[in-house]
């Protein structure tokens, strides 16, 4: 085989043996100044995904295993229609519960954001999204005598980028005396162009 033929064969084998590298939108681009950019411009330049991810876990006993699969969950892709609502339903024993989540202030971007979570972890972000949501937790307990006991709680919270927010952890008791624990959490989840990774930091 000629040298030219060997070279062609080598190129063919090399091309066939290596899968093409998949990249997210804007991956490989250098970071651009984002000052003065609109929300849509920042999203197009910096992010390939933004979503509101919420989950509830329910179990018998006083504690919740956060590594366990959620009882119910949803992922709300943003910035899509933010005027609707998402609903989580679950039942444990004689207790029926519904959690309604609404966006009360549309997704927006702030130049800087400093956040401390409930574990005292501190985060710092630049040109970062925030989202204000509300939840309503309605619980209906059917008593042994047939009576129904209703209860509800309501809360607003501002969510920051990739920082989990716990809305509540509550306990109740079913008709058999078993303790029931519920835990509800949400995260404003993002996936960003690696060139902007320095704009989200865990400080401590």
Domain boundaries, the chain: 58-202
Residue with tokens 């008709």: 175
Comparing 115 with 90, which gets the higher pLDDT?
115
Predicted TM-score (pTM) of the model is 0.81
Average pLDDT of every residue of the chain? 85
Of 43, 6, 92, which Cα lies nearest the Cα of 190? 43
Distance separating alpha carbons of residues 184 and 171, to the nearest angstrom: 12
Which tokens is 180 given?
Answer: 């029931």
The whole-number pLDDT of residue 156 equals 93
The whole-number pLDDT of residue 178 equals 84
Strand partners, 125: 113, 200
Which tokens is 141 given?
Answer: 């307990």
Is residue 1 scored above 90 in pLDDT? no
Per-residue pLDDT band for 63 (boundaries 50, 70, 90) equals confident
Is residue 16 scored above 60 in pLDDT? no
């Amino acid at each position: 085989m000629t040298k030219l033929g060997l070279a062609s064969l080598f190129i063919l084998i090399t091309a066939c043996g290596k899968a093409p590298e998949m990249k997210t939108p804007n991956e490989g681009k250098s970071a651009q100044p984002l000052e003065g950019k609109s929300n849509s411009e920042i999203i197009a330049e910096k992010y390939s995904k933004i979503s509101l991810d919420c989950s509830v876990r329910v179990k018998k006993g006083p504690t919740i295993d956060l590594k366990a699969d959620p009882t119910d969950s949803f992922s709300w892709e943003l910035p899509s229609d933010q005027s609707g609502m998402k609903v989580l339903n679950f039942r444990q024993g004689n207790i029926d519960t519904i959690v309604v989540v609404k966006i009360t202030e549309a997704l927006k971007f702030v130049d800087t954001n400093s956040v401390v979570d409930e574990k005292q972890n501190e985060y710092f972000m630049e040109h970062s999204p925030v989202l204000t949501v509300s939840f309503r937790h309605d619980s209906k307990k059917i008593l042994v005598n047939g009576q129904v006991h209703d209860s509800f709680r309501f809360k607003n919270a501002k969510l920051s980028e990739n920082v989990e927010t716990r809305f509540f952890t509550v306990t109740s008791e079913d008709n058999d005396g078993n303790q029931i624990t519920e835990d509800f959490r949400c995260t404003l989840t993002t996936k960003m162009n690696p060139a902007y990774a320095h704009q989200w930091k865990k400080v401590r």
